[in-house]
């Protein structure tokens, strides 16, 4: 399953007509996460992929303002993992 399909699955979206909107949310999420943890491979890093899916879920549901607070520990853990590599 590709990343778009994983995100759509997390959002419970079974239709295709919102794909461009979801792709834009994904790009915003990738930018948000990379700005906090550094270069990230969302296809191979499971924790980064999980954060991206949750970011998209929050954005899709209009709750993006809560994301960073709700996922502080996940973001910090990913920052630490990146600093060790």
Q: Using the predicted structure, report yes or no on whether residue 9 has a pLDDT greater than 80.
A: yes
Token pair in block for residue 61 = 């549901």
Task: Convert the pLDDT of each residue in 25-77 to its tens digit.
Answer: 999 999 999 999 999 999 999 999 999 999 999 999 999 999 999 999 999 99
User: Smallest Cα–Cα separation from 51: which of 39, 62, 70?
Assistant: 70
The structure's pTM equals 0.94
Q: Using the predicted structure, report yes or no on whether residue 85 has a pLDDT greater than 80.
A: no
Burial class of residue 40, CB neighbours in 10 A (0-12, 13-18, 19+): buried
Q: Using the predicted structure, report yes or no on whether residue 22 has a pLDDT greater than 90.
A: yes
Token pair in block for residue 13 = 């979206």
Question: 83 falls in which pLDDT band (50, 70, 90)?
Answer: confident
In contact, 5 and 13? CB cutoff 8 Å: no
């Amino acid at each position: 399953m590709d990343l778009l399909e994983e995100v759509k699955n997390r959002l419970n979206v079974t239709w295709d007509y919102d794909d461009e909107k979801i792709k834009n949310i994904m790009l915003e999420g990738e930018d948000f996460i990379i700005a906090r943890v550094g270069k990230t491979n969302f296809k191979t890093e499971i924790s980064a992929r999980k954060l991206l899916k949750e970011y998209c879920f929050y954005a899709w549901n209009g709750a993006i303002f809560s994301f960073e607070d709700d996922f502080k520990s996940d973001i910090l853990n990913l920052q630490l993992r990146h600093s060790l590599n």
